[in-house]
Amino acid sequence: MFGLIGHLTSLSHAREVAKELGYDEYAEQDLDFWCVAPPQIVEDISVKSITGKTIVGKYVESCFLPEMLLTKKFKAATRKILNAMAHAQKNGINITALGGFSSIIFENFNLMEMRQVRNIQLEIERFTTGNTHTAYIICRQVEAAAQKYGIPLSQATVTVCGATGDIGSAVCRWLHARTGVLDIILVARNQERLRSLRTSLGRGRIMTIEEALPQSDIVVWVASMAKGMEIRPEMLKQPCILIDGGYPKNLANTVQIPDVHVINGGMVEHALDIDWKIMKWVSRCAPSRQLFACFAESMLLEFEGWYTNFSWGRNQITIEKMEQIGAVSVKHGFKPLVS
Ligand code: NDP
């Protein structure tokens, strides 16, 4: 059985979804209530592969909200993730993806040191960040969108915002080794990590986002920001492609310029319908076949019986592992969304 740990994008979003689900006692509450609310399994899911195999899983709502980080309620945020993981393990789930901010909180707050959750010792091999599949899908989206919109990668400047992150660094490695891209611009805040990435890649120009945007044909946005991405559309080159890989996604609403093509980054489409409601709740508008690549990673591990923390730690994603998960992604009927 696979699991998906997810969360909603804001307090108002959480109240809205709680009402829809019939959790009236949650729908009227403020942030303090959500800080103490326990995790809930809110949906049982079954997914069929194009190979014919069917697997079952559960969606675990952690009740974490990004406002907990914005208001510095760090203890509540970390408890949400640990409790959701313990809940998944207690319910016998073999492999669970840590969606949205779950894996970032796990890493940033060093939760590896806090694996004893009441009477449960978390078994880390039961969890995956899903970042290898996400990075693979984003790279495929870059390649497909470049072709679709007539921007050859051999002549393109690609900016990766969040380049030193787990997903961003993997995307940079793939772009360099697999695509023949002309130029890569690296954007993040910590300059030391940027320099170290540039050294390991052997290329890449380090810039601020303001310097990078006017010269970028393609922008891959994989920065971790609790409020989503803020961008001044007038700074963008036209034409250009924006791959919005962050969570929450808000670029399609904020950037509406005819020659700027916004792609829902890190999203896949399954070949067959999935009978579930969670993607509608979590991302508001995704049709039943569309889902986050990190969620799909736990499904792929379940399909293949690879009960291991396939994606774990920071900046460990290799091109070989991206190709490995990419091959089973294709085999089971997932493909990158290019819209
Ligand atoms: P990491 O925490 O590993 O990396 C975040 C990166 O963003 C770092 O390079 C960080 O560098 C940079 N960053 C953070 N804040 C800013 C800022 N204000 N300006 C510029 N750079 C910034 O995160 P992940 O790689 O694990 O995840 C990246 C994003 O992808 C997240 O939004 C996450 O929610 C989303 N995601 C989407 C998935 C999907 O299935 N679609 C799956 C998993 C994650 P520095 O701190 O030095 O600025």
pLDDT of residue 229: 62
On whether the CB atoms of residues 296 and 114 are closer than 8 A, the answer is no
Q: Rounded to the nearest whole angstrom, what is the distance from the C-alpha of residue 157 to the centroid of ligand 1?
A: 20
For residue 251, name the pLDDT band (cuts at 50, 70, 90). confident
Whether the upstream peptide bond of residue 239 has omega within 30° of 0, thus cis, is yes
**Residue 26 pLDDT exceeds 90:** no
User: What are the residues facing 264 on neighbouring strands?
Assistant: 244
Q: Rounded to the nearest whole angstrom, what is the distance from the C-alpha of residue 265 to the centroid of ligand 1?
A: 13
Atom of ligand 1 nearest to the CA of 194: 47
pLDDT digits (tens, 9 = 90+) for 304-334: 999 999 999 999 999 999 999 999 999 999 9
The residue assigned the tokens 């995790």 is 39
Distance, in Å, from the CA atom of 250 to the CA atom of 222, rounded to the nearest integer, reads 13
Is the shortest distance between the CB of 161 and ligand 1 below 6 Å?
yes
pLDDT of residue 255: 76
CATH for 133-267 is 3.40.50.720
**Residue 72 pLDDT exceeds 80:** yes
Is the shortest distance between the CB of 246 and ligand 1 below 6 Å?
yes
| Average pLDDT taken over every residue of the chain | 93
* Count of C-beta atoms within a 10 Å radius of residue 20: 12
Residue of minimum CA distance from atom 44 in ligand 1: 100
pLDDT of residue 258: 84
**Residue 262 pLDDT exceeds 70:** yes
**What are φ and ψ of residue 8, in 5° steps?**
-95, 170
Distance, in Å, from the CA atom of 284 to the CA atom of 255, rounded to the nearest integer, reads 18
Atom of ligand 1 nearest to the CA of 129: 43
- Select from 66, 69, 184, 131 the least CA-distant residue to 314: 131
pTM over 0.85: yes
Distance, in Å, from the CA atom of 30 to the CA atom of 296, rounded to the nearest integer, reads 32
Q: Which two tokens stand for residue 72?
A: 């510095």
pLDDT of residue 287: 81
Which of the two residues, 283 and 36, has the higher pLDDT score?
A: 36
Mean pLDDT within 279-305: 89
For the chain, give the percent of residues with pLDDT over 70: 98
- Three-class secondary structure of residue 220 per DSSP: strand
**Residue 219 pLDDT exceeds 70:** yes
Q: Rounded to the nearest whole angstrom, what is the distance from the C-alpha of residue 27 to the centroid of ligand 1?
A: 29
For residue 297, name the pLDDT band (cuts at 50, 70, 90). very high
pLDDT of residue 226: 58
For the chain, where are the alpha helices, taking DSSP H only? 11-21, 24-27, 31-36, 67-70, 74-90, 102-108, 131-148, 166-178, 191-201, 209-212, 251-254, 278-283, 293-304, 319-331
pLDDT of residue 284: 65
Distance, in Å, from the CA atom of 164 to the CA atom of 281, rounded to the nearest integer, reads 30
pLDDT of residue 205: 98
pLDDT of residue 279: 84
Whether the upstream peptide bond of residue 248 has omega within 30° of 0, thus cis, is yes
pLDDT of residue 249: 72
Is the shortest distance between the CB of 297 and ligand 1 below 6 Å?
no
pLDDT of residue 288: 85
Q: Which sequence spans correspond to the domains of the chain?
A: 2-131+268-335, 133-267
Is the shortest distance between the CB of 165 and ligand 1 below 6 Å?
yes
User: What are the residues facing 241 on neighbouring strands?
Assistant: 218, 261
Q: Rounded to the nearest whole angstrom, what is the distance from the C-alpha of residue 224 to the centroid of ligand 1?
A: 3
Q: Rounded to the nearest whole angstrom, what is the distance from the C-alpha of residue 207 to the centroid of ligand 1?
A: 17
